[in-house]
Amino acid sequence: MPPAPTTERPKAEAVPYKGEPLPNVPDDLVVPNVLNLDFDERLWVPQAPDVWFRPILFNVTQGYFVNLLRVRRSGILSRHRHSGPVHATVLRGKWHYLEHPWWATEGSHAFEPPGDIHTLEVPDGVEEMITLFHVTGAYIYVDAMGNPLGVEDVFSKLASAKAHYANVGLGPDYVDQFIR
């Protein structure tokens, strides 16, 4: 009879793992100083007028991306539907969705379920909004009735970043460090 399972963690030792690495495990990804928002302007990829993103991770095998979104204007950014869950942590400024009563303010975290349709607005008086987004699946841009107008996903974000980094002198391969 096998021993009864325990919920107690084994005692940790200060000895690194010495066994064989598991097959097909990609390298870890560490992006330094992500919360220090004063970094090289070339890292911000233009997305729309006064809107940029900075890639953190492009997970092409699981269909998600993590990035910082920076907005330096007020008004409507987009109306979209999510095909997967989204997590958002506001680092600077605030924003909300016209369809919901809550506000995403500096230091707050929002979870957006798959299928949610909403219209993102940055209010007047916000000079800069920066939010860390973890987006699984795609944004499906829609009109007021929900009819699809366009799609954005990990692959389109990756292509935009690759082209931008080539244009600003970092090289198209600069983006490869964020791909897993």
Domain ranges of the chain: 42-175
Say if CB 78 and CB 141 are below 8 A apart: yes
Report helix, strand and coil shares of the chain as percent, to nearest 5.
15, 40, 45
**Model confidence pLDDT, tens digit, residues 107-157:** 999 999 999 999 999 999 999 999 999 999 999 999 999 999 999 999 999
Degrees, nearest 5: CA angle 126-127-131: 75
Question: pLDDT at residue 34 above 90?
Answer: no
The pTM is what? 0.89
Q: How far apart are CA 106 and CA 91, in angstroms?
A: 5
Report the percent of the chain where pLDDT is more than 90: 84
Q: Which range has highest mean pLDDT (1-15, 29-43, 66-80)?
A: 66-80
- Domain 42-175 CATH assignment equals 2.40.420.20: no
Give the mean pLDDT of the chain: 95
37 pLDDT above the threshold of 90: no
- pLDDT on residue 106: 97
Average pLDDT over residues 167-174: 98
E strand map for 6-154 = 45-48, 51-59, 64-71, 75-82, 86-92, 94-97, 103-105, 109-112, 117-122, 129-136, 139-142, 148-152
Q: pLDDT tens, 61-89?
A: 999 999 999 999 999 999 999 999 999 99
Decide if 41 contacts 169 (C-beta within 8 A).
no
